[in-house]
A and B are shown apart, each in its own frame.
Chain A
Amino acid sequence: MAYTPHVLVIGGGVLGTAIARDCALRGLEVTLVEQGTLAAGTTGSIHGLLYSGARFVEENPTAAMRCLTENRTLREIAGHCIEDTEGVVLPAEKGEFDAFVDACEQRSIPASALGRSDLDEIGVADGIDRGVRVPDGVVDPFALTRANATSAENYGAEIKTGASVVELLTDGTDIVGAEVEFDQSPGGVRAPTSPSEDVPEETREPEVDEEEEEPIDAEDDDEEDTPGMPGTVQRSFPGATEDDTPDTGEREEIEADYVVNAAGAWADQIAGLAGIKLPLSRSRGRMVVLSGELTDSAVTRRSDDGYPITAAPYQGNTVVGPIPEPTELEEALAAVEAVLPAASEAAVLRSYTGVWTQHASSSASPYGHDATLVDHEKYDDRWGLLSVIGGSVTTHRFVAEQAVNRVCREFGIGRSCLTADLSLPDTSIRSGDSGPVLCEARSVGREAVRSAIDASEPEPELANVRTQTGATMGECQGGRCGHRIAAELYPDHDHETVDESLETLLQRRWRGRRETLADDQLAAALDDYEFHARLLGRDDERQEEVDTDSFDESGFTIPERSRADQRYRGEDSVLPVIDGVPRGTDGRAKCSEAVGQ
């Protein structure tokens, strides 16, 4: 190929990284920029389900079948990111169940009937007598996003995290790149203007143009062609810290032949930078983390009047959700207890909220996760920008494929997509168990923490330790292990960086924790506070340097015939000794000057 277009992808969620990977596999030059860390957006606050499609087979059969296909593909190419928990779907209190089972059958979604004894084994409450087993699974969205990114890098893509798009470059009308601003502050990532802040109660008023944008499943024009050669440049893995790390506040203009906007809930802000209006609809869903694995399957109870609630095992805990606003937490937990009685014993560890974002032209409901490609040349007369919105983690690879097909078409490139055929690299951390355990709740050792720190770029990023090792996600949410983990940054980083990282880590865990505090969890949280404030003596608002002048120092005593004794009282000593402490001529205590004379 004589000419290789340079594609700039905005957004390091599961979708953006998959688009970058797909571009790289097809031999395009690609740069991805992410304002925070990978999977810091919606991708990192999902429920964690690999959908079989059963949950919305009646409402959105097309999406359901797409889920089933992609579910199978991901199991093939990314088995290490998936736990094959299987799923169980239970009937709603009143609702029709037979129609649902029939719908599954019609769409070839395996749904085998479960009897009461199976339900007993799963831990389902008495009184629920039916259910089906479906091929739902649990997916680790952090591992999957990392795997996409690493694969993209292996094929020559460049991935920049801590790089926030602040301008889109234009030549008047066409989009020709973007300007990014770097923020490499430790422990965290740049605090984005959180999209969740401005989500109205329901959704935004859909403002659809005359022409309908293209829903993806309507498009089916895969061109078959010779596969692209994988790039030969072997870039660093995410994690290899480069020496030319940009400073915080530094800006860079990245020129590109084409820009793909995969900024999720922030996509309208990106489009807005070029004066383009991109109408989105959003709704929030809340997840609650309960302690312990209450069940080993992803258990979904259908709902009479809304989106079903699922309880799924995730790294030793159980994640329950999504709880749509404005449902109260207690109400949702009661619903879960009615299905899984063991939930009444579990502690609520924390909650987090995700924002569903779809183009306003698709239904605002989360059913089916419709995905939309918006070619801004077609709708806004602005060449060079494609926005990709929606989908799900389960179907993200397919959505990325459609997007990259579109990009290739713009340049007359007819290479077929390889992302479904090539396995994703396993980036999980394997380490021996030498050294002490730092996070007891998750049995994460020092070696694993160090590997995760080494694997993050370009600055210490403790969020990476959490997502790669699971540390700080247990009962204490970092309260008892955060300082140990942050200390591992030392001595590569100074104590200020350690402090700042710890502060960020604890503060972000606290945000999810403080909402749910009651009873034993309240006591544990206050105990953790006391541990930091009193035992460790931490307080970020106190003075850096302590004036120790007027404090009591009589506690120090020199043992008879000690080294200090010899030094201080020895014949060579010129310092007078008062109360066992050598004094200078000014009467002030002397320390190391006295040593080694």
Chain B
Amino acid sequence: MSEDVLVVGGGIEGYSAALSALDADPGASVRLLRLPADRFATETGLLDVLGFEPGGTEPVANPLSAVDRLPESHPYSRLGLDTVRDALALFDDVAGERYVGSGTETNALFPTAVGEVAPALRYPRSVSNGVVSGPPSMRLVGFEGFPDFDAELAAERLDERTPLDVTGQMIDTPLSADSPAEMARLLDENEISDGQPARERLVDALEPVVDVEPRIGLPAALGESETAAITETIAEKLRVSVFEVSLGPPSLPGRRLESLLAETLESRGGELDSAGRITEVERTEGRIERVSTGRESYEADSYVLATGGAESGGLVGGPEDLREPVFDCPVTLPDRGLVDERFLGDHPAVRAGVPTDDRLRPVTSDESAVAENLYAAGRVLAGPNVVADHAAGGVGLATGYEAGRRASERS
């Protein structure tokens, strides 16, 4: 198969690269290899652009104005604010009504399943009523069968962490669903049991616990595809605002984001491919000519490496070193060892990755490009600890955007 741009990897950076390449050149042929699968299972569905400055102890309200204070090596500093804004605009265009926050440069804060606070610049409509900076009190309602979300415990913490009044209550799991995914399926299909459709049964189960608070937070299990209709039903019948709290993995808001990106990519003419791992790479004179999975081979003018970091197999190895297994790009390690002494510490393996030139092309130790038509984006890049900084979404989006642009320029 032959394309203009081949994106290897299906995380947010991969989709961003593919969509950006198409945005720059709508006639281009762009293919995305989803590799490895299920990169969105631990995604919250929230787009975190910069939640904390490196080492910071307070969430950042205006992530873009904080870029000035980031080190020069930070992807945002290297790409420049305009590129970050363009990337966000592309996201807003893709996400449309499904996401909230379009156009803003101010973070919003959301409750996590344990009652901590997570900042995001764009967020799904299903979670938007959960903003903890907004004033009305909230009630978290958890389901006994979903042990990731103890609503009473989360409420106590959140009540203390924020100026909000937060209460919590646990109830028996509605619909007798044994997992959030199962509940989502029952609600999507609005399956009838004992003569009553699933959504009605859920409303009945919630009715007794809705109290004075004008909004309720529920485990993110409100359908995978019909979330808007389901939340609306609850809101209308119980006359409260409803929001979801992300659970996981698998995280339904993460999955929904993936579907949104995948559907948009296909509707804009991109190709999605779930082929296996790339095992062979053919190069000549500083160019990648062809890659192959053993069964299928792909030839492209440009390639974007977007396979993720060590958490998703984009970097492999240990316990001393890491390598990049697809194109064998050199990898830099910021420190000795791959992990910190503390579980929640600043793990070198998260900051490790492929160094690039200003055009996001992986480089060797003498700063020359590994291949003139190879670009890299997202977690595979050497860079900051985007997990601790709550910046993984934005860095993926912006580096993907830039890599996609550059890759399409070549074609």
Which residues on A are within 8 Å of B, measured CB to CB? 435-438, 446, 483-484, 487, 490-491, 494-495, 498, 506-507, 509-510, 514-519, 521-523, 525-527, 529-559, 561-568, 581-582, 589-592, 594-596
Q: How far is the CB of A368 from chain B (nearest CB, A)?
A: 35
Contact A526 B144 (CB under 8 A): no
A-B pairs under 8 A by CB, number: 253
Contact B214 A567 (CB under 8 A): yes
B297 at interface by CB-CB < 8 Å: no
A-B contact pairs, 28 of them (CB 8 A): A438-B147, A487-B150, A490-B152, A498-B153, A522-B317, A523-B313, A525-B339, A531-B249, A535-B248, A537-B116, A537-B118, A541-B344, A550-B62, A552-B101, A552-B106, A554-B100, A554-B134, A556-B129, A556-B131, A556-B215, A558-B214, A559-B240, A562-B239, A562-B241, A563-B214, A590-B135, A595-B214, A596-B212
Q: How far is the CB of B299 from chain A (nearest CB, A)?
A: 30
Contact A536 B112 (CB under 8 A): yes
Which residues of B have CB within 8 Å of A509?
343
B25 at interface by CB-CB < 8 Å: no
Contact A546 B214 (CB under 8 A): no
CA distance A551 to B161 in the complex (A): 15
Q: How far is the CB of A493 from chain B (nearest CB, A)?
A: 10
Beyond A546-B59, A554-B108: 19 further Cβ-contacts under 8 Å?
A: A494-B156, A515-B319, A519-B318, A522-B317, A523-B310, A534-B48, A534-B387, A535-B44, A535-B246, A535-B248, A545-B162, A546-B58, A551-B133, A554-B134, A556-B131, A556-B134, A556-B136, A562-B241, A582-B136
With A526-B311, A589-B135: A436-B145 Cβ-Cβ less than 8 Å: yes
Closest 10 CB pairs of A and B: A564-B214, A589-B135, A518-B318, A553-B134, A537-B116, A555-B128, A526-B311, A548-B133, A551-B133, A556-B134
> Which chain B residues (227-259) contact chain A, with CB distance < 8 Å?
235-236, 239-241, 246, 248-249, 251
Contact B241 A555 (CB under 8 A): no
B390 at interface by CB-CB < 8 Å: yes
With A435-B144, A550-B106, A557-B129: A535-B251 Cβ-Cβ less than 8 Å: yes
Contact B114 A536 (CB under 8 A): yes
B264 at interface by CB-CB < 8 Å: no
Q: How far is the CB of B334 from chain A (nearest CB, A)?
A: 15
Q: How far is the CB of B379 from chain A (nearest CB, A)?
A: 10
- Majority secondary structure of chain B interface residues (helix, strand, loop or mixed): loop
> Which chain B residues (154-199) contact chain A, with CB distance < 8 Å?
156-157, 160-165, 178
Q: Number of contact residues on B: which range applies?
A: 35 or more
> Which of A533, A543, A559, A567 is the one whose CB lies under 8 Å from B235?
A559
CA distance A301 to B114 in the complex (A): 48
> Which of A529, A534, A567, A581 is the one whose CB lies under 8 Å from B135?
A581
B332 at interface by CB-CB < 8 Å: no
Which residues of A have CB within 8 Å of B104?
552, 554
Which residues of A have CB within 8 Å of B249?
531, 535
Which residues of B have CB within 8 Å of A590?
135
Contact A518 B131 (CB under 8 A): no
Which residues of B have CB within 8 Å of A527?
42, 311-312
CA distance A519 to B318 in the complex (A): 6
Contact B213 A595 (CB under 8 A): yes
Which residues of A have CB within 8 Å of B236?
559
> Which of A545, A547, A563 is the one whose CB lies under 8 Å from B160?
A545
Q: How far is the CB of A91 from chain B (nearest CB, A)?
A: 33
B347 at interface by CB-CB < 8 Å: yes
Which residues of B have CB within 8 Å of A564?
136, 214-215, 240-241
Q: How far is the CB of B254 from chain A (nearest CB, A)?
A: 9
Q: How far is the CB of B187 from chain A (nearest CB, A)?
A: 19
Which residues of A have CB within 8 Å of B213?
592, 595
Q: Determine the residue in chain B with the shortest Cβ distance to A506.
A: B343
With A507-B342, A555-B101: A484-B212 Cβ-Cβ less than 8 Å: no
B377 at interface by CB-CB < 8 Å: no
Q: Which of B215, B249, B311, B313 has the most CB of A within 10 A?
A: B311
Contact A516 B101 (CB under 8 A): no
Q: Determine the residue in chain B with the shortest Cβ distance to A561.
A: B239
Q: Determine the residue in chain B with the shortest Cβ distance to A534.
A: B387
Which residues of B have CB within 8 Å of A535?
42, 44, 112-113, 246, 248-249, 251
> Which of A514, A529, A548 is the one whose CB lies under 8 Å from B109?
A548
CA distance A514 to B246 in the complex (A): 28
Contact A510 B342 (CB under 8 A): yes
With A495-B156, A536-B113, A541-B57: A526-B349 Cβ-Cβ less than 8 Å: yes
CA distance A483 to B338 in the complex (A): 24
Contact B341 A514 (CB under 8 A): yes
CA distance A542 to B51 in the complex (A): 12
CA distance A521 to B313 in the complex (A): 11
Q: Which of B107, B109, B128 has the most CB of A within 10 A?
A: B109
> Which chain B residues (68-120) contact chain A, with CB distance < 8 Å?
100-101, 104, 106-109, 112-119
CA distance A316 to B314 in the complex (A): 30
Q: How far is the CB of A469 from chain B (nearest CB, A)?
A: 14
B303 at interface by CB-CB < 8 Å: no
CA distance A514 to B390 in the complex (A): 23
CA distance A565 to B106 in the complex (A): 26
> Which of A510, A551, A558, A559 is the one whose CB lies under 8 Å from B343?
A510
